């Protein structure tokens, strides 16, 4: 059996440090807003090269709170890619805004030209999603945002530690520490990153009942804070994140070599200038559902991210879209296949994945 992720192997590396940290929190009963939260926020901001980090309850809340903090007008439109995890669109609606979907480019990232075409007089923001671990074309998207006066809110849930040459500095970004992400908590957690002290303060206010001073509530807020025990986990894992991302890159290189000779397999590519962190290794194959079933039968835990684009989800039928509206995203949804990818994947396991895939494709 080759698992899709291996959270046990990751835990083994950090277990001692985490148990010591938990013990400290339990002894101090610092469950909410304990000192580990502020320490992690500072350390993650530094790791990300962004001045401010505010820990929140999860990555979906991070998107909603970031949009609210940015003060985009209620009811205005937000452009985002059709192929993303549903949370991106969900958070937009929850923030009282209207999602407007746009198609993706060859890397399955928001296509700047499609995004430009989706911008109208009521558009207030754009959400590039750094899907699979590499950044969307941020130069072009910032240029569009500047031209049309839009807020840029990056959904960086899958891209902790990624980079892009020559891109403008992060103004506002959300991330998720869902357990399976490149840096995962042991429960729910997320964060907002921003270059603006004012936005950071606004997110913090919203995340904690609209209050900075106990029992004084400046604004209607939420209860969405980073849990102290999760901060302990994240501090321990952050120390390994650069190495773990490097191990993912090495695994991606190995897959590239192992799979390049297999007929029918289209390999994922890194866009020029991107430092990829390979949250997911997504190939494209013909008759994907059969291939997936064949792999699973042989014990290779492949998955699909994501089988149904946002515009074809029942929850978003009100947007009025149908098949054919976003052809690049739809074609991808029928062919994409995420192979096992995590920092502890061995060369032997990857050889087995490649052999099994080759066999399954020959049998089609
Ligand atoms: C995981 C994820 C989210 C949501 O994060 P949660 O912490 O699960 O709420 C949002 N967007 C993308 C692209 C994600 O992968």
CB 158 within 8 A of CB 30: no
Per-residue confidence band for 199, with pLDDT thresholds at 50, 70 and 90: very high
Q: What mean pLDDT is reported for the chain?
A: 98
**pTM for this predicted structure:** 0.98
Q: Give the pLDDT confidence of 60-116 residue by residue, as tens digits.
A: 999 999 999 999 999 999 999 999 999 999 999 999 999 999 999 999 999 999 999
| Residue with CA closest to ligand 1 atom 2 | 157
Distance CA 25, CA 225 (A): 16
Per-residue confidence band for 302, with pLDDT thresholds at 50, 70 and 90: very high
Per-residue confidence band for 336, with pLDDT thresholds at 50, 70 and 90: very high
Ligand 1 centroid to residue 3 C-alpha, Å: 21
Domains in the chain: ranges and CATH: 7-235 (3.40.640.10), 240-363 (3.90.1150.10)
Q: What is the pLDDT of residue 333?
A: 97
| Residue with CA closest to ligand 1 atom 10 | 87
Q: What is the pLDDT of residue 171?
A: 98
Helices (H), 208-318: 228-259, 288-297
What value does the CA radius of gyration of the chain take, rounded to a whole number of Å? 21
- Testing ligand 1's pocket by substitution, the residue of 109, 155, 225 carrying the most ligand atoms inside 8 A of its CB is 155
Q: What is the pLDDT of residue 78?
A: 98
Phi, psi dihedral angles at 212 (to 5 degrees): -105, -35
CB 7 within 8 A of CB 180: yes
| Residue with CA closest to ligand 1 atom 6 | 59
Per-residue confidence band for 164, with pLDDT thresholds at 50, 70 and 90: very high
Q: Give the pLDDT confidence of 215-247 residue by residue, as tens digits.
A: 999 999 999 999 999 999 999 999 999 999 999
Q: What is the pLDDT of residue 194?
A: 98
Ligand 1 centroid to residue 157 C-alpha, Å: 5
| Residue with CA closest to ligand 1 atom 14 | 157
């Amino acid at each position: 059996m080759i698992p899709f992720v291996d959270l046990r192997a990751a835990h083994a590396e950090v277990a001692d440090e985490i148990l010591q940290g938990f013990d400290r929190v339990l002894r101090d009963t610092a469950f909410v807003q304990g000192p580990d939260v502020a320490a992690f926020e500072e350390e993650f901001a530094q790791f990300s090269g962004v001045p401010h980090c505010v820990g929140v309850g999860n990555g979906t809340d991070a998107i909603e709170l970031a949009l609210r903090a940015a003060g985009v007008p209620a009811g205005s439109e937000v452009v985002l890619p059709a192929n993303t995890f549903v949370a991106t669109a969900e958070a937009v609606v929850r923030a009282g805004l209207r999602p407007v979907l746009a198609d993706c480019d060859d890397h399955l990232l928001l296509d700047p030209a499609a995004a430009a075409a989706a911008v109208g007089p009521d558009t207030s923001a754009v959400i590039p999603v750094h899907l699979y671990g590499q950044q969307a074309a941020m130069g072009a998207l910032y240029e569009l945002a500047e031209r049309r006066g839009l807020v840029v809110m990056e959904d960086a849930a899958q891209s902790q530690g990624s980079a892009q040459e020559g891109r403008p500095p992060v103004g506002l970004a959300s991330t998720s520490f869902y357990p399976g992400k490149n840096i995962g908590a042991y429960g729910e957690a997320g964060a907002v990153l921003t270059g603006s002290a004012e936005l950071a303060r606004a997110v913090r206010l919203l995340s904690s009942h609209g209050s900075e001073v106990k029992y004084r509530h400046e604004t209607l807020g939420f209860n969405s804070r980073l849990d102290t025990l999760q901060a302990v986990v994240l501090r321990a894992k952050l120390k390994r994140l650069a190495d773990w991302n490097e191990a993912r890159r090495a695994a991606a290189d190995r897959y590239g070599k192992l799979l390049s000779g297999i007929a029918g397999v289209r390999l994922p590519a890194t866009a020029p200038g991107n430092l990829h962190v390979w949250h997911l290794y997504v190939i494209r194959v013909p008759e994907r559902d059969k291939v997936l079933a064949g792999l699973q039968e042989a014990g290779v835990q492949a998955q699909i991210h994501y089988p149904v684009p946002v515009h074809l989800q029942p929850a978003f039928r009100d947007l009025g879209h149908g098949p054919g509206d976003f052809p690049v995203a739809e074609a991808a949804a029928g062919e994409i296949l995420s192979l096992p990818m995590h920092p502890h994947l061995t060369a032997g396991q990857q050889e087995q994945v490649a052999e099994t895939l080759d066999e399954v494709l020959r049998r089609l």
